[in-house]
Amino acid sequence: MTDLTDLFPGFASHWIDTEAGRIFARVSGEGPPLVLLHGFPQTHVMWHEVAPALAGRFTTVVMDLRGYGWSSAPGSEDGAQYAKRKMGQDVITVMGKLGHVRFALVGHDRGGRVGYRLALDHPGHVEKLALLDILPTVRVWDNIRAGVTPAAHWGFLSRPAPEPEEEIAKAPDAFYEGLMAKWTRDQSLSCFDARAMGQYRAGWGDRSRTHAMCEDYRAGATMDLEQDETDLRSGRKIQCPTLIATGDFYLTRAAQQPPVEVWRNTFAPQTQGVVIDSGHFLAEENPQATIDALMEFL
């Protein structure tokens, strides 16, 4: 893969052994520990405009989730190896081996789902939690089942293997880039750095990575959903200070209520909310506003 030192100046590279295999992470800065988790269909590279600013105040760790980027992609069936509970354990292992038992966490998209599951399961590890442009998995599926929002890629990617994998393999760039453009405010790829897009394409061009991403969504439709439902019934809540940062386009287009209210009514009753002038990809569409919001919260 292309060298990324131009996108992450001053960041050290680490490959850390976990139960999933080797997890790739970059680290820079001094101060309280902070981990940044990317979303679908991207990699840690999505933080390239945000992480250097945060590293001025925090020991900042950007990592590739299992199955994405430069991290290992464990074999899996029916989502078994891509449950957010397992992916959260990767974060604990990575941060622990870097010397951090407690840390703040910022997660976008799938990384946000890993983050809130980790905060629910292991409250002693997460000091602060910022979630970028997501609703709880249980509410996404509630909306799909009620016909409020279309199943779209959630339904397609979670179909049994190898149906979606084979369909995507016919034209992976067209599939992933089509989704990404649709989720931006201006309906194009213009907000993405060309070097970052090269990294994203390299990832999804590997069929094992496409399978991993489908397994991620299969887990979302089964294990992750079941764990959310169990926690809702038991009244389990996120214990740490929480920020819900959303763009003013993607989640809000068909929202029945503001995303922050959805979180207050489910897992984070005391959460703060901020809306950023952006589509779904806050860290790349409006990095300065994202930095400002995270700095104020963290």
Asked whether residue 6 is domain-assigned, the answer is: no
Catalytic residue among 38, 100, 125, 280: 280
- Which pLDDT score, from 0 to 100, does residue 250 have? 76
Residue with the two structure tokens 């901020």: 274
Q: How many domains does the chain have?
A: 1
Coil, strand, or helix at residue 95? helix
The residues, any chain, with a CB within 8 Å of residue 246's CB and separated by 6 or more, are 132, 133, 252, 259, 260, 273, 274, 275, 276, 282
The DSSP output letter for 235 is: T
In a domain, 7, yes or no: no
124-128: list long-range contacts, CB under 8 Å, 24+ apart. Answer: 125/92, 125/95, 125/101, 126/102, 126/240, 127/32, 127/102, 127/103, 127/240, 127/241, 128/104, 128/240, 128/241, 128/242, 128/243, 128/297, 128/298
How are beta strands 126-132 and 103-108 bridged, if at all?
parallel
Please indicate, yes or no, if residue 155 is contained in any of the structural domains.
yes
CA distance 155 to 178: 16
Per the annotation, the verdict on 280 as an active-site residue is: yes
Alpha-carbon gap, residue 266 to 238, rounded angstroms: 10
**How far is residue 21 CA from its own chain's centroid?**
19
Spatial distance between the Cα atoms of 67 and 212, rounded to a whole number of angstroms: 5
**Full domain range(s) for residue 78:** 12-297
Degrees to nearest 5, angle at CA 180 with 20 and 201: 55
Query: How many Å apart are CA 133 and CA 216, to the nearest integer?
Result: 18
Is 100 one of the annotated active-site residues of the chain? no
- Taking the CA of residue 33 as centre, how many other CA atoms within 13 Å lie in the half-sphere pointing to its CB? 19
Q: Which residue is catalytic, options 64, 90, 109, 231?
A: 109
pLDDT at residue 3, as a whole number? 47
Q: Note whether residue 3 is domain-resident.
A: no
pTM summary value? 0.97
Q: Express each pLDDT in 168-192 by its tens digit.
A: 999 999 999 999 999 999 999 999 9
Given this model, what pLDDT does residue 5 score? 52
Could you tell me the strand order of the sheet in which 272-276 lies? 12-18, 21-28, 59-63, 33-37, 103-108, 126-132, 242-247, 272-276
Whether 1 is in a domain gets the answer no
67 φ, ψ (degrees, to nearest 5): 90, -5
Distance CA(163)–CA(5), nearest Å, equals: 37
Low-confidence stretches of the chain (pLDDT beneath 70): 1-5, 252-255
CATH number at residue 101: 3.40.50.1820
Q: What is the pLDDT of residue 288?
A: 98
Residue 4 in domain: no
Backbone angles phi, psi at 264, to 5 degrees: -65, -30
Bridge partners of 63, per DSSP, are 25, 37
